[in-house]
Amino acid sequence: MTDMTLRRYLTQSALDPNLIFLLEDIASSCRVIADHVRNGAFEGNLGSANATNIQGETQKTLDILANDEFERICANSPHLAALVSEEVEEVTWLKDPEAGDYLLYFDPLDGSSNLDVNLSVGSIFAVMQVQSDGDRNVLHKGRYQVCAGYAIYGPSLMFVLTVGGKVAGFTCQHGTGDFRLTHPDMKVPAETSEFAINTSRYRYWDAPVRRYVDECVAGEEGVRLRSFNMRWTASMVAEIHRILTRGGVFLYPADSNNRNAGGKLRLMYEANPMAMIIEQAGGAASTGHTPILDIAPTGPHQRVPVILGSRSEVERLITYHTTERATAQ
């Protein structure tokens, strides 16, 4: 299995060669970013860039560097029409859009607050297509994604990708730099006893989320009749990779503090790609009321509530949200 390189995997997937070129450019971007992350201390790239992005977040030097590497390397793909990046307010058009050209949505360095404390970070991406010649609309539902994936810069560099049907994990072989297939069919276990949420926000949560977490924390004595584990790494890529590997449910819900902004996580380059990956791996991804992939976007940096992971737990949370909405009416 591990002699299967990313190149061979993609060519065997019978994909459009232009999409293969783009995916290889994305993988190359992630390799280069991994080097910058690992050499951050020597390149003087750790710490703040003393700038803020469209999100109003302080940008790390590596956030900007990672964005620039994505732009530089992926611009080689002849049929890539536009880039939508967490770090850039406007859509970056590389060519006049023609039907079938590709649109790349990406968070170049997710979880970058972990960089200075040497914890895992990642890059997230999704690809959609231009619908017709001259069409400059980049706001399509997540169901229109043709592929999605992420790189995780952890103890090993991994590249996880779905082109529809399966989720495949590739590990970068130290030395050759090849991405080799190590996880051919990643599946989210339907059941789990592990949840991930920033519990410091408890006072802001709506009733359904409080109910769910309270029941998990009550353990064997409570209605769940078993104990649960909690994780929170402040890096969505690390959480999703753990869920793909051993199950779990990840929550960044709307709450009384972030509701006016729509939530915390961004739809086009965080929630949508991860929702496609999780669904293709047998899990579920919802706002609590609506499948994330069915949301009609209103802007490139729109924020949405995110509940995703093991199907049984996501469905339980949807039931709690539905029940709460029904009793409130």
Sort 270 into a burial class: Cβ within 10 Å, 0-12 / 13-18 / 19+. buried
- Determine the interface stretch with ligand P6P among 33-41, 92-100, 110-118, 138-146 (rule: CB under 6 A): 110-118
Residue 253 binds to ligand P6P (criterion: CB under 6 A): no
Residue 110 binds to ligand P6P (criterion: CB under 6 A): yes
CB of 83 vs ligand P6P, minimal distance in Å: 19
The counts of H helices and E strands in the chain are 8, 17
Nearest-10 Cα torsion for 200, 201, 206, 212: -30
> Is residue 274 a contact partner of residue 308, using CB atoms and an 8 Å limit?
yes
> Is residue 218 a contact partner of residue 161, using CB atoms and an 8 Å limit?
no
Sort 106 into a burial class: Cβ within 10 Å, 0-12 / 13-18 / 19+. buried
Closer residue to ligand P6P, CB minimum distance, 7 or 201 = 201
Residue 157 binds to ligand P6P (criterion: CB under 6 A): no
Residue 234 binds to ligand P6P (criterion: CB under 6 A): yes
Residue 283 binds to ligand P6P (criterion: CB under 6 A): no
CB of 58 vs ligand P6P, minimal distance in Å: 11
Q: What are the structure tokens assigned to 92, written together?
A: 């970056």
Q: In whole angstroms, what is the distance from residue 51 CA to residue 112 CA?
A: 14
17-38 vs 61-74: helix crossing angle, rounded to 10: 150
Residue 235 binds to ligand P6P (criterion: CB under 6 A): yes
Q: Which of 102, 98, 87, 83 is nearest to 19 (CA)?
A: 102
Closer residue to ligand P6P, CB minimum distance, 34 or 197 = 197
Q: In whole angstroms, what is the distance from residue 231 CA to residue 123 CA?
A: 20
Residue 248 binds to ligand P6P (criterion: CB under 6 A): no
- Determine the interface stretch with ligand P6P among 38-46, 59-67, 109-117, 310-318 (rule: CB under 6 A): 109-117
Helix (H, G, I), strand (E, B) or coil at 181: strand
Residue with the two structure tokens 């590497």: 69
Residue 69 binds to ligand P6P (criterion: CB under 6 A): no
Helix (H, G, I), strand (E, B) or coil at 141: coil
Residue 236 binds to ligand P6P (criterion: CB under 6 A): yes
CB of 299 vs ligand P6P, minimal distance in Å: 17
Q: Which of 317, 236, 245 is nearest to 275 (CA)?
A: 236
Residue 288 binds to ligand P6P (criterion: CB under 6 A): no
Q: In whole angstroms, what is the distance from residue 169 CA to residue 151 CA?
A: 10
CB of 113 vs ligand P6P, minimal distance in Å: 6
Q: Which helix (H) or strand (E) holds 10?
A: helix 6-12
Residues from 190 through 219 that contact ligand P6P (CB under 6 A): 198
How many residues bind to ligand P6P according to rule CB under 6 A? 9
Residue 255 binds to ligand P6P (criterion: CB under 6 A): no
Closer residue to ligand P6P, CB minimum distance, 186 or 306 = 306
CB of 149 vs ligand P6P, minimal distance in Å: 15
Residue 263 binds to ligand P6P (criterion: CB under 6 A): no
Residue with the two structure tokens 């390149």: 43
Closer residue to ligand P6P, CB minimum distance, 11 or 113 = 113
- Determine the interface stretch with ligand P6P among 212-220, 222-230, 232-240, 309-317 (rule: CB under 6 A): 232-240
Residue 4 binds to ligand P6P (criterion: CB under 6 A): no
Q: In whole angstroms, what is the distance from residue 271 CA to residue 127 CA?
A: 13
CB of 161 vs ligand P6P, minimal distance in Å: 19
Q: Which residues of the chain form contacts with ligand P6P (CB under 6 A)? A: 110-111, 113, 198, 234-236, 264-265
